[in-house]
Structure 1
Amino acid sequence: MSSRKRVKLTESQAACIYFGEEINEINERECHRIISNYRGSRLVYTEDPQEPQVMSICRINCRPITYQYYLPAFSMVAQEQQEFGLPSVASATENESSLVTVTMKTEGQLQSSSEYKLANHAQILQFLNDVFLPFNPYNDALYEEQYLSTSDIRSVVAKHVIDTKSIPGDFPNWCTRKNAAFLEVKSNLARDSGNQKRIRKRRLYTLLSRYHATIVQSITETLIKHQRQIQAMKDSGIIIVGYARKSKTPEKDCDRVRLLQEMTLKLQSRSLADRIYVSPRTSSDELLRSRDMPRPQSLLDALNNVNGTTQDLFELLATTTSKICLVAIDFAGLSTNENDIYELIKYANSYL
C-alpha cells in the first residue's frame, strides 16, 4: 500500500470530503450531522481514505474486509462515552499519555479497544506504518510532528503488544529488512533530552496517542473479519480451497517441506480451508496447467493434510458441482501471469 494511502482521517473530516466542503470545525459538525441522518448507512472507504463513500451497514457486513471505517472524531468519542455511561473524554485525557477508550457494541456487549493487543510481526509492521508517517499529512487534528529515535518508536510499540517478547529482538535491523515506512526519513544526530548524549532521530508525523488503541483494534480485527467472511461462504455451501506454492529455490527438501507445511497450516487455521493443494517447486510465472509434472510424489508424501498438486486442483474444478473460493498465500502465491489466472477462471466456469 502506498504510504500516502495510510494517512488517517476522522469520520467528520471524511464527511467534508464527501460533500466537497472545506475541512473545518463548523463544516465537520454539519457534514457529519447530515451523514448521521442516512439511516442504516455509514461512511467508509476501500483503499484511499480520501475517497469516502456512503454504504449500507448490510453491505459493509457482507464485505467486512473491503470496507474500512474512519477514525471517530474526538467529539464523537465523547458522545459515545456519554451514551454508554463511561468516563468523560476530558477525564480520560487529563494525562497526555493516556488513551481515549473507544467503545463498540459487539454481540450485545461493550468491548474496549484498549483490550486489543498486537500478536505477531505482521501486525507490528502494520502498526508502525499506520502510526509513524515519513511525510507531512497536513492534518493537525490527528498527527503531530515529533523527533524520534528507533528506541522511542519501539517503546510505543511495547505498549500495544501481548508480550514484549513478541517484538523482534534486533528491532532496528528488523525494521530495515521489512522496509518500515519511517525509514524513508534520513536520521540525524540530535541531543537526547535530559542528558548530553547524542543519538540518531528522525522527524516523523505521529498519529496522536489517543488513537493508537483504535488502530490496534482495527489491525487485530482483520483476521476476525476475514474468518467471519470465510465462514459465511462455507455456510452457503462454498468450498474453501487453499493453494500454496514454493519457488525453485536451493533449500533442502526437508526445509521445503517444512515451509510448505507452515503455509498449509496457515491456510487451515486462518482461512479455514476445506481442501489444500500445493505446488512444491514451481516459478510464480509458470503456467498453472503445466505445473507439477512429473508429479512430486516424495514431497507430497512428506506433507500432512494436503489433497494434491495443481493438477489435482484442475481435476477438482472439472468434477465438483459446488462453488469454490480459492485462497492463495501472498500475491505471487497463485501466479504472476495475469492472463493465466484468467484462463484458470475460464476453465472453472466452463464446468458450471
Structure 2
Amino acid sequence: MLIVRGDPTCPMTISCLKYEMEPWWFVLLVGDSGIIPSTSPSTPTASALSASLPTPIAPPPPPLPPQGNEDSDTSSKSSSLSSVILPGSVTPSRKAILDFLKNMMPIEPVQDITTETFLTEEAVFTLVAAYLPDGAVKKSQLAEWMAKDGAWGVTKKRRTQSERIQGRQYNLVKESFRDYRWVDLNNVHQFRRHVKFTKDSTMTIGYVRRSNTTDSLGSKIKSLQLQSVKLLCEKVFGSLNTSSSSDIISRDHNDDKNWLDEVTSCIGNTQDMIEELNTCSKKIRLVTIDYAGLCTNPDFLRDFFKANKIVVELVVDLGHKVDIFNRRQLLKDVDTVSMFNCRKSCTTRSL
C-alpha cells in the first residue's frame, strides 16, 4: 500500500481490515495474488473517517479534452484492482459531487499530488462524468453548482494558440492518483460493517434536531420523522424548535412531549437521551445528520462530551459518507471541533 499523504513513494504494509475501514488514505499496490477482503476482523478502533483524497480502485477514465496547457499531467496509470469486492453505490447528491470535486481539485495544492491545470467547464464535466453514475449530473448543473459554491473562484478567459477559452485554474490531482470509481468514494458500507462488529460492546443511538423556524408544526414534525428514519439507529432521540448553537445539556427541560406521539421513530427528547446515557451499560456511539445536526457551538459540544464519558464516538452522517470522531478528538483537537462551527443558514437534513 502507498500513503497518499506524506511521501507518495514510500510503501508500507497494513491489514486488510484497516484498508477496508479507511480506504481513502491509501493507494493499493496489488501483487500477483491480489487483495482478499477480510471476513473475520478484530475489534475496530474509532478514527476520523474524513476523506481527504479519493481512493484509487478502478481503471482511470478517458483523458481530458485538449486545453493547450503545457503543464498537463502525463503520469502513468496505476494497476486495475479487479480483485477488490465492492459494495453497491450511494446515489450522489449535489453535496456529494461538490465534495468529490474538492477532493479531486483541492483548493490548496498538495506537493507531489496535484498539478496546476487550466480547465474549461466542459473539460471539468468530461472529467467528473467519467467517475459518476450515468445521468448523475448535467453539464449546466455542474457549472451552476461550482459557481454558487465559489470555492474555485470565477471563470477567466485564456488565450490558446487557436482561440480564447474560458475556465479556471485548478489544483488537479495527478492521473496516477485518480485510479478509482464513484462506488469507491463513500464509506457508508464500511461504517455499517463497523457498527455490526461492535454491536456487543457499543450501542448506536441517533439524535435529530429541528430549528425554531417559521415553518408550520406539521412540517417540523415531518422533518424530524424523516430524519429519524434515515438514521437507521437502534434508538433515536430528537429535539423540536431547538437552535443549533444552544447548549445540548440544557435542551428540552420543558415537559412538552406531545410531538413525540407523531414522530414514531423517536423514543424521547434530549433529556431522555441524557437519561439513557446515564443508565446504559454499553459504550455509546452517537449519530447525527450533518455537523449542525447536534451543535454548532464548540464550547457546548465539549461540555456535552465531558459530562457524558460513556459516549465514545460521534458519527456525522453526510449522506454519501460518514465522518467518525472519537472522544479525544472532540475534547482535545481544535481543528476537529471547529468543523462543527459551520452553520451559515438552515439546511435540509430530512432528504
Q: Per residue, is there more helix in 1 or in 2? A: 1
List per-residue Cα deviations over 1:43-91 (Å, max 9, x = no partner).
xxxxxxxxxxxxxx38837x935x853335xxx4xx63x555xxxxxxx
Q: Per the alignment, do residues 284 and 231 of structure 1 end up closer, same or farther by CA in structure 2, a change over 3 Å counting?
A: same
Residues 1-352 of structure 1 aligned to structure 2 (within 5 Å):
11=2, 17=7, 28=9, 31-32=10-11, 35=12, 41-42=13-14, 57=15, 60=18, 64-65=21-22, 68-72=24-28, 76=29, 80=31, 82-84=32-34, 100-103=78-81, 110-111=84-85, 119-139=92-112, 142-166=113-137, 170-179=141-150, 181=151, 183-184=152-153, 186-190=154-158, 198-214=164-180, 216=182, 218-220=184-186, 222-234=187-199, 236-268=200-232, 273-349=233-309
Q: Per the alignment, do residues 298 and 193 of structure 1 end up closer, same or farther by CA in structure 2, a change over 3 Å counting?
A: farther
Measure, in 1, the Cα distance between the counterparts of 2:155 and 2:307: 53
Q: Per the alignment, do residues 101 and 296 of structure 1 end up closer, same or farther by CA in structure 2, a change over 3 Å counting?
A: farther
Q: Could you say which residue in structure 2 is the equivalent of 1:88?
A: none
Task: Decide which structure has the larger Cα Rg and report it.
Answer: 1
Q: Which has the higher mean CA deviation after the structures are superposed, 339-348 or 281-290?
A: 339-348
Q: Per the alignment, do residues 225 and 117 of structure 1 end up closer, same or farther by CA in structure 2, a change over 3 Å counting?
A: closer
Q: Is the 8 A contact 1:118 1:161 kept in 2?
A: no
Unmatched runs of 5 consecutive residues or more in structure 2 = 35-58, 65-75, 311-351
SS at match of 1:289: coil
Q: Per the alignment, do residues 133 and 315 of structure 1 end up closer, same or farther by CA in structure 2, a change over 3 Å counting?
A: closer
SS at match of 1:325: strand
Q: Is the 8 A contact 2:207 2:236 kept in 1?
A: yes
Q: Is the 8 A contact 2:211 2:243 kept in 1?
A: yes
Larger relative contact order (CA 8 Å, sep ≥ 6) = 2
SS at match of 2:206: strand
Q: Per the alignment, do residues 331 and 119 of structure 1 end up closer, same or farther by CA in structure 2, a change over 3 Å counting?
A: closer
Q: Which has the higher mean CA deviation after the structures are superposed, 246-255 or 170-179?
A: 170-179
- CA RMSD for the aligned pairs? 3.8
Q: Is the 8 A contact 1:192 1:199 kept in 2?
A: yes
TM-score (norm 2): 0.64
